[in-house]
Structure 1
Amino acid sequence: MGGSTDAGAGVDEGERMARMALTRVVEPGDERGGQWLREMGARELLARLTAPEAEQRLPGAGARRLARWRARAATADPRRDLAAVTAVGGRFICPGDAEWPTQLDALGDAAPIGLWVRGRPGLRAWALRSVAVVGARACTPYGAHMAGVLGSGLAERGWIVISGGAYGVDGSAHRGALAAGGATVAVLACGVDVAYPRGHTELLARIGEQGLIVAELPPGEHPTAPRFVLRNRVIAALTRGTVVVEAAHRSGALVTARCAQRLSRPVMGVPGPATSALSAGVHELLREGAVLVTDAAEVAELVGEMGDLAPRRRGPVLPRDLLDPLGRRLLDTLPARGPVPVARLARATGATTDDTLGKLYELHALGFVERCGDNWQLTLQAIYRGRSR
């Protein structure tokens, strides 16, 4: 799926270290911080935050924001953070690196300052063929099953499954991909060295060994409610499309879907029972134009290359489906009870008497009709088949 790349290619070392430090200063998705970063660069922004108070020049910066950022900047130690992430097999990547997924730039000033990545494969190569599978934490057994089936089905087709590492749908999607021997990425709302949720310690360790763990926050950072919500924009921007499996009206998974819609990425929903509150958010997405999907083939058809089509869906082929038009008209004409003369059947079907009689003998050989003297009637087998269509 593509190996890791040289994270330092094309990026000035001072700019890289400043971006590492700023991941401890600026909260994920802070657009004002992103604006300053774009206008003056990471090194200059960090220099202004660590300069004496009289020399600070940040247009539009509120006193509380500035005080908070200054306090964080004063204690930021990017070399310590780099050593911590290296100890768990990780690295730091940022815009300008060969491994940086440029689709994240679509987030504008809300784009990540950089990403802490744990695992061997290259994130850019993986993200180019990835799908987000997200949904409710407190999902039903149906939701867990569908997420697992989608995860394994997408992995078998060579797609990377990206989710948030949480309980419920996220965990099931990750496990499905891993069970199929495929690739998966967990985008966390904490440091890549923090096992959260605690119950997924083993799962996250396996993802770190077999796939990738990604975070905007530096090593050791713990999640907060706003960070969970803001993490979802990274999942949406990294991937070719987003599938929502079970989501209530206020679900964080809907944040991922709305962000994907704003980025003009395909949004898909797995339907559930109309009476289920956990599917209400998905159904609302479907009403708004999201695409209904039921398996990995349908997801791949929407986000894949031209010609990557899902198989045509149809019910089982019945013996009656293989009959020619005259044979089907004769079966439709014959009543469920009682024999009918050949002449009447010929008039009803518009065929000649000879053609009608010949077709009746064919139907007799196939077990659809039987002869009663000079008349014909349906067999019990044909009546049963007709009722079960």
Structure 2
Amino acid sequence: MTRPDDLEPDHLEPEVLEPDDLDPKEPDPDDQGREEDRWARAVLATVAEPGDRALHELVARVGGARALAALRTGHAADSVPAALRYRARIGLADPVALHELTVRAGARLVVPTDAEWPAGLDLLGGLAGAVSAPPLALWVRGTHRLADAQPRVVVAVVGARAATTYGCDVASSIAYELAERGVVVVSGAAYGIDGAAHRAALAAGGTTVAVLASGVDRAYPVGHEALLERIAAQGAVVSEAPPGRHPSRARFLTRNRIIAAMSAGVVVVEAALRSGALNTAHWATQLSTHVMAVPGPVTSAMSAGPHRAVIDRGASLVTDAADVLELVSPVGVGTQAMRRGEERPRDHLPADAVALLEALPARAAREAGQLAVAAGLSVDAAIGALGLLAADRWVERAEAGWRRVPRRG
């Protein structure tokens, strides 16, 4: 297998590269070609803006190594609007150094041809928008291999950083029960709802994945450094940014598309009207992924986001993990019986008997004929129903007719 040390610029570039050469080619079957493509993608992910659709389309046509060569020589300018800007950065992105950074971070590079690549990310390729393309590569740190999640249900639980106690409690409860049932819980490792979801999944002994806007070796927020270490030990920390990269506002928003694309559903627990959680819900809507919202007090600013998600995006209201599983599980799996209130003894009475019982005053007696008229029954049906009610001690015969048995509901 070729080491990144062999991936010098001359090795990545063909001797003569003309624009006409940028036609689709069959992928190189040997290991050397695959490694060239892998680390070329790493370089491109380092120098390019996340989600650049034009660059993604070029890589999809000609492969990572040839796309990188086209950027180096200037031949990609016509197909990639940001090519000149990226070309200026390429000299700062050395594949050997990237490999060393990856090893030092205890991470691995995952590309679309790897079995570990989450298939849902490829759905981003079908979206419109200049920054909506799938990642060129992912850096993953942790024991959990992303491919392990594919046969299992993956659910994102996201929400406000400035979450309320109510929001954190609900997020914890949902994430804990999901993790107990084998669901992989994905979130963004932020304070508030994200942190509550990750901690609950870990407490349940389940698997959780944190998708960062920084490199996988950069704890952000810093206060979650210990939490991210626990996630890596029991799940995975993921980023499309290379190790060492600090987060930026733009990367937080583009990071959300990865969370949505990796998941079968997105649960918004609490969120302001303008928030990253609603941005994640927006990506999920575009991907036709289930969007779910936890209701809250109408007086709470942190519940305004979920409520608007219901109104504007058709999000499904959920209150617990059972609701979530019913929506995201395969057909026939994870369904639950219709929920009802507490059962009462009269719930099991025939309809005629219930009608008679409701027609009978609480403290007065009535003759069978009067009750039949009040209940809309024939006299024979009323007499039969009264006999059933009497046998079960709902009613009793009195001098003035039939009356309720005292102290029965």
CA distance in 1, matches of 2:58, 2:189: 31
Residue among 84, 88, 96 paired with 2:101 = 84
* 1:134/1:9 CA distance change after superposition, 3 Å: farther
CA distance in 1, matches of 2:395, 2:243: 77
* 1:323/1:138 CA distance change after superposition, 3 Å: same
Do the aligned residues in 2 keep the contact of 1:10 with 1:97 (CA within 8 Å)?
A: no
Q: Secondary structure at the match of 1:112?
A: coil
Residue among 143, 148, 159 paired with 2:167 = 143
Residue among 104, 107, 110 paired with 2:121 = 104
Q: Which residue of 2 aligns with 1:358?
A: 387
CA distance in 2, matches of 1:340, 1:278: 56
CA distance in 2, matches of 1:190, 1:377: 75
Range that drifts further, 11-20 or 191-200? 11-20
CA distance in 2, matches of 1:206, 1:44: 39
Q: Which residue of 1 aligns with 2:77?
A: 58
- Say what the alpha-carbon RMSD is for the aligned residues: 2.4
Do the aligned residues in 2 keep the contact of 1:50 with 1:74 (CA within 8 Å)?
A: no
* 1:132/1:357 CA distance change after superposition, 3 Å: closer
- Cα shift readout 1:42-78 (whole Å, capped 9, x = no counterpart): 2223234444xxx55521556xx45542342112123
**Where do 1:248-263 residues align within 5 Å?**
248-263=272-287
Alpha-carbon shift at residue 202 of structure 1 (Å): 1.3
Residue among 31, 37, 40 paired with 1:18 = 40
Matched-pair identity in %: 48
- The amino acid across from 1:221 in the alignment is R
Q: Which residue of 1 aligns with 2:360?
A: 334
Q: Which residue of 2 aligns with 1:214?
A: 238
Q: How many residues align?
A: 368
- The amino acid across from 2:348 in the alignment is L
CA distance in 2, matches of 1:256, 1:11: 36
- The amino acid across from 1:289 in the alignment is G
* 1:49/1:344 CA distance change after superposition, 3 Å: closer
Q: Could you tell me the TM-score, scaled by structure 2's length?
A: 0.83
Do the aligned residues in 2 keep the contact of 1:268 with 1:292 (CA within 8 Å)?
A: yes
Say whether 1:321 aligns with 2:347: yes
Q: Which residue of 2 aligns with 1:46?
A: 68
Say whether 1:121 aligns with 2:144: yes
- The amino acid across from 1:248 in the alignment is A
Mark the runs of 5 or more structure 2 residues left unpaired by the alignment. 1-29, 126-131
Say whether 1:300 aligns with 2:300: no
Alpha-carbon shift at residue 94 of structure 1 (Å): 0.4
CA distance in 1, matches of 2:365, 2:222: 74
CA distance in 2, matches of 1:175, 1:95: 30
CA distance in 2, matches of 1:263, 1:114: 20
Mark the runs of 5 or more structure 1 residues left unpaired by the alignment. 1-7
Q: Secondary structure at the match of 1:79?
A: helix
CA distance in 1, matches of 2:330, 2:32: 31
* 1:121/1:371 CA distance change after superposition, 3 Å: same
Q: Which residue of 1 aligns with 2:267?
A: 243
CA distance in 2, matches of 1:14, 1:296: 44
Q: Which residue of 2 aligns with 1:312?
A: 338
Q: Could you tell me the TM-score, scaled by structure 1's length?
A: 0.87
Do the aligned residues in 2 keep the contact of 1:127 with 1:238 (CA within 8 Å)?
A: no
Do the aligned residues in 2 keep the contact of 1:326 with 1:359 (CA within 8 Å)?
A: no
Q: Which residue of 2 aligns with 1:27?
A: 49
Q: Which residue of 2 aligns with 1:268?
A: 292
Do the aligned residues in 1 keep the contact of 2:55 with 2:80 (CA within 8 Å)?
A: no
Q: Which residue of 1 aligns with 2:181?
A: 157
* 1:158/1:331 CA distance change after superposition, 3 Å: same
Do the aligned residues in 2 keep the contact of 1:82 with 1:91 (CA within 8 Å)?
A: no
* 1:13/1:142 CA distance change after superposition, 3 Å: same
